[in-house]
Amino acid sequence: MLAYLTAIGIVALIYALLALGLNLQFGLTRLVNFGVVAFFAIGAYTSALLALRGVPLAVTFVAATLLAGLSALPIGLLSLRLRDDYLAIVTLGFSESLRITIQQEEWLTKGVQGLPGIPKLFGSLGPGVSDSAQLALLVLITALVAWGTVRLTRSPLGRLLRAIGDDEPALMALGKNPTWFKVQIFMLGAALAGLAGAFYAHFITYISPEQFVPLVTFYVWMGLIMGGAGSVRGALGGAVLLMVFLEGSRFIKDWIPGVSEVQMASVRLAAVGLALILVTLYKPNGMFGRGES
């Protein structure tokens, strides 16, 4: 039971990092990123490939974070020319293009066979202890990211970013140029997704293209919307709510007799979708509201 709860905690914190990154992009500057899973995959594959070649894990995590952030630069520059709906389409297309590339470039990623044997973080400590150590590290990093985000949102830069999201034309009329700020925040959110991907790869120890489908992006968006976009507590609380719904819905089959495992996957998705609809209807600002922190 303890191992199960530890695993759930690790996955929840990985989603929390993804939600915090998306909250910077959408919650502050209203950049609609439907390609979260692409930067998640870049981080996972970067760290895994380097680790399998004997590079120290501390270096692989830094490389995963930096590469994911740098890969967002071209799309961040595109965001200066695209409206929200077009940016959403571009980022979604980017995520699918990246997944297909990973699938096809077998010489590097082994394609659909995936990458097995990825070194586990703190693996030398043993199976149970290593997961507990990774959970503790994730708690620390997530807390630091959340603290940094709160400081950012309360700073003059944070107020400027909110102004970009609320009314960019008015901000430009006041003589402020939001161009580089939008690019920076898009890259920062992508870097957090890359860091989350590195943690995921070294926790699962096996990755393949099928693990990085658009459904992952949908889950992150769902968690952020349920929790409350524009709020750090909304992003963190939304990640917890997401795991409650995803894991809790696994037990629906105990209440619905005669449903196969294949059908259960659809029922789970329907239950999660229904929860999102109800939250949107009755809590339009999210379960934790929208605040400055």
Percent of the chain with pLDDT over 70: 88
How confident is the model at residue 98, as a pLDDT? 96
3-state helix, strand, coil in the chain (%, to 5): 80, 0, 20
What gap in Å lies between CA 64 and CA 139, rounded to an integer?
Answer: 19
**Mean pLDDT, range 104-114, rounded to an integer:** 93
**Mean pLDDT, range 217-230, rounded to an integer:** 91
Which is nearest to 84 in space by CA: 95, 73, 92? 92
pLDDT > 60? residue 14:
yes
Query: What is the identity of the amino acid at 171?
Result: L
pLDDT digits (tens, 9 = 90+) for 251-284: 666 676 666 666 777 777 777 788 888 888 888 8
How confident is the model at residue 253, as a pLDDT? 64
**Mean pLDDT, range 132-154, rounded to an integer:** 94
Under a CB-based contact definition with an 8 Å cutoff, are residues 287 and 224 in contact?
A: no
How confident is the model at residue 10, as a pLDDT? 95
How confident is the model at residue 187, as a pLDDT? 95
Percent of the chain with pLDDT over 90: 55
Under a CB-based contact definition with an 8 Å cutoff, are residues 42 and 194 in contact?
A: yes
For the ranges 41-55, 191-205, 260-274, which has the lowest average pLDDT?
260-274
How confident is the model at residue 124, as a pLDDT? 84
293 pLDDT tier (thresholds 50, 70, 90) = very low
Residue 275's alpha-carbon distances to 90, 219, 245, 278, 281, in angstroms, are: 28, 12, 8, 5, 10
93 pLDDT tier (thresholds 50, 70, 90) = very high
How confident is the model at residue 292, as a pLDDT? 41
- 56-92 b/e (C-beta count within 10 Å ≥ 16 → b): ebeebbebbbbbbbebbeebbebbeebeeeebbebbb
How confident is the model at residue 281, as a pLDDT? 85
The token pair at 234 is 């909304």
Which is nearest to 227 in space by CA: 238, 218, 211, 215? 238
Which is nearest to 15 in space by CA: 246, 205, 208? 246
